[in-house]
Amino acid sequence: MKLSKQMLIIGTVIGVVLISIIVFKIKGDGTEAVGKYDSLAKCLAGNGVKMYGAYWCPHCNNQKQMFGKSWKYINYIECSLPNRGGQVQICNQAGIKAYPTWEFQDGRRIEGELTFEQIMGYSNCQMEA
């Protein structure tokens, strides 16, 4: 009888822990909901700003890391074919020659890694304080 009570208690504890884990996974911890630069990234996307890049490009990866979680809002065009086997057609048609290439709403293109200040200056988008 004593063993049955212990098993019941252990089973209940395991059940509570499992339910807690499931709820936590479904709801998340809230840290992914808002990125630090969401307002800037959303403004860029809303104004048609694009970044052309390649998965193997270290400067492109720096730009992605710079935006952090907010990168998901950036209008990013992957130009590289698998195994660095050339460019996708959209990038060929756009005349992309270097990565990253930022294209702004006025049609201006800037090649290379840009700072937040440069991006804001070319786009008229600002970060929230």
DSSP state of 37: T
Count of alpha carbons within 13 Å of 16, Cβ hemisphere only?
A: 6
Residue 64's pLDDT is 98
Between CA 31 and CA 9 the distance in angstroms is: 33
Residue 25's pLDDT is 47
Between CA 73 and CA 38 the distance in angstroms is: 7
What region does 68 belong to: left with phi over 0, alpha with psi -120 to 50, or beta?
Answer: left
For the segment 83-126, what is each residue's pLDDT rounded down to a tens digit? 888 999 999 999 999 999 999 999 999 999 999 999 999 998 99
Angle at 18 between CA 16 and CA 23, to 5 degrees: 95
- Torsion angles phi and psi, residue 31, rounded to 5: -75, -20
Domains of the chain by residue range: 1-33, 38-123
Residue 41 pLDDT more than 90? yes
Residue 114's pLDDT is 98
The architecture CATH gives domain 38-123: 3-Layer(aba) Sandwich (3.40)
Between CA 69 and CA 65 the distance in angstroms is: 8
Residue 44 pLDDT more than 80? yes
Residue 96's pLDDT is 97
pTM of the model: 0.73
